[in-house]
């Protein structure tokens, strides 16, 4: 990568680096070793001064932890650069928390998919110990929101894991958890030296986790030496993590530039491709966003949406109700050519618009596939993203149903 890349390009590249092993399968220990071995070179390619400050950490649910046939649950790290030129024309010592997107079945079932129960995020972060898992609750009224900031249970429980897992022995930052590491950072005592910056970033699922994590760190007073005004959030392609109250309080903590916004060079806004279905989740009310779940039905016209996709969107609309409201967004218009007719072209286009379009805009076609990219099927690749994973699940259910009907038909013919 060119050393002339601006700060937003470097941060996005770090976000992509968090997904280095998301195509790989293995036990938690195996994936941890792969990630730790590959990450330093990936950071050096972004810029020679980028180093691993803490981590990386691979986390898998206890059921999958020793399963060599499943992917990571979550992956994240903290990178450091002593001198980063920001958009204000000044240089700062900078730390970046980079959080991976959806990888395997745990993510799309229990992080992306659990949107009916919620976590009252401000209450959890401010009135309890964040080392204790948040208690999910069913919403008081299924299809109405709440005046308190809340996020989905899936996002809330993932934030808890991000906060409370330390890298293994021998890793940078061991034995500290993420908040403990931030607290251990010493800022310069010289008034002549600039205060350090902290950036929290992620794509897709990471685009929902990064604002939720940053918000929790602020509310829990767990920023270490970083002042709140020196903390920036850079989510890309994120679905809505919470309700209107969360959006409003997040914007107070992390103000975005005055809108309407376009392009990718903005802090504290969700960078969104107009042709990406994922940021349409999980909002159903167009008064809060130009693109909502219903937008997906006609997004790739004139090609009709597959029945499996329609079923998946219907389920998400029911589960989300009217609760979810997206964060402030900056939109860009990617190169879009309607796909040719066929059962799979709708999904291929959806995947391209959710992944490739962002790399093309921000990094100029520097699309990096990461490790193990050649070991996954196209359908598996689709299943590594919010919303698309629901469609893949519907496709597989339909395939199983067709197989059963075929077997029954064959059995009847043989009677």
- Nearest Cα residue to 351 out of 319, 381, 321, 392: 381
- Amino acid 239: pLDDT: 95
Is a pLDDT exceeding 70 seen at residue 379? no
Give the residue, 216 or 61, on which the prediction is more confident.
216
**pLDDT tens track for 3-56:** 589 999 999 999 999 999 988 999 999 999 999 999 999 999 999 999 999 999
Distance CA 178, CA 165 (A): 7
Distance CA 109, CA 153 (A): 11
Distance CA 311, CA 317 (A): 10
Any domain includes 24: yes
What's the CATH code of the domain at 43? 3.40.50.1820
Is a pLDDT exceeding 60 seen at residue 275? yes
Any domain includes 1: no
Q: Where are the alpha helices (DSSP H) in 18-106?
A: 28-46, 105-106
Domain that holds residue 329: 7-413
Confidence tier at 349 by pLDDT (50, 70, 90): confident
**pLDDT tens track for 153-202:** 999 999 999 999 999 999 999 999 999 999 999 887 777 789 999 999 99
Confidence tier at 318 by pLDDT (50, 70, 90): confident
Is a pLDDT exceeding 80 seen at residue 365? no
**pLDDT tens track for 80-118:** 999 999 999 999 999 999 999 865 554 444 444 578 889
Is a pLDDT exceeding 50 seen at residue 297? yes
Tokens of 311: 């079923």
Answer yes or no: are the C-beta atoms of 206 and 101 closer than 8 Å.
yes
Q: How many domains does the chain have?
A: 1
The answer for 307, left when phi > 0, alpha when psi is -120 to 50, beta otherwise, is alpha
Answer yes or no: are the C-beta atoms of 200 and 213 closer than 8 Å.
yes
| Assessment of whether the complete model's pTM goes beyond 0.85 | yes
Any domain includes 2: no
Give the residue, 301 or 381, on which the prediction is more confident.
301
Any domain includes 19: yes
Element housing 231 (H / E):
strand 231-236
- Amino acid 402: pLDDT: 41
């Amino acid at each position: 990568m060119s050393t002339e890349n601006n700060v937003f390009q470097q941060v996005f590249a770090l976000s992509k680096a968090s997904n280095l092993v998301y195509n790989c399968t293995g036990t938690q220990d195996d994936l941890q070793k792969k990630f730790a071995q590959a990450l330093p070179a990936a950071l050096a390619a972004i810029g020679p001064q980028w180093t691993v400050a803490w981590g990386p950490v691979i986390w898998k649910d206890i059921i999958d932890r020793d399963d060599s046939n499943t992917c990571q649950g979550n992956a994240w790290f903290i990178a450091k650069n002593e001198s980063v030129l920001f958009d204000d024309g000044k240089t700062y010592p900078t730390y970046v928390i980079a959080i991976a997107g959806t990888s395997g079945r745990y993510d799309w079932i229990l992080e992306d998919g659990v949107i009916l129960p919620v976590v009252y995020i401000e209450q959890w972060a401010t009135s309890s110990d964040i080392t204790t898992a948040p208690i999910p609750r069913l919403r008081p009224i299924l299809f109405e929101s709440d005046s308190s900031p809340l996020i989905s249970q899936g996002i809330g429980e993932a934030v808890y894991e991000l906060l409370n897992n330390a890298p293994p022995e021998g890793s940078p930052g061991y034995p500290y958890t993420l908040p403990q590491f931030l607290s251990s950072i010493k800022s310069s005592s010289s008034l002549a030296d600039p205060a350090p910056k902290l950036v929290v970033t992620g794509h897709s699922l990471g685009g929902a986790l990064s604002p939720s994590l940053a918000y929790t760190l602020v509310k829990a007073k767990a920023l270490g030496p970083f002042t709140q005004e020196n903390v920036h959030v850079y989510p890309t392609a994120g679905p809505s993590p919470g309700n209107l109250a969360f959006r409003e309080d997040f914007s107070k903590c992390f103000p975005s530039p005055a809108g309407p916004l376009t392009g990718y060079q903005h802090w504290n806004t969700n960078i969104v491709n107009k042709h990406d279905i994922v940021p349409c989740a999980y909002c159903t009310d167009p008064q809060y966003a130009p693109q909502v779940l219903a937008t997906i039905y006609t997004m790739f016209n004139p090609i009709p949406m597959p029945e499996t996709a329609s079923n998946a969107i219907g389920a998400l609309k029911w589960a989300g109700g009217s609760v979810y409201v997206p964060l402030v967004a900056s939109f860009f218009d990617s190169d879009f050519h309607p796909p040719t007719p066929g059962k799979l072209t709708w999904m291929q286009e959806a995947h391209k618009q959710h992944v490739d379009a962002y790399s093309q805009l921000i990094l100029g076609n520097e699309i990096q596939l990461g490790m193990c990219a050649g070991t996954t099927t196209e359908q598996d690749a689709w299943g590594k993203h919010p919303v698309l994973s629901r469609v893949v699940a519907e496709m597989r259910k339909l395939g199983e149903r067709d197989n059963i009907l075929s077997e029954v038909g064959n059995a009847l013919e043989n009677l």
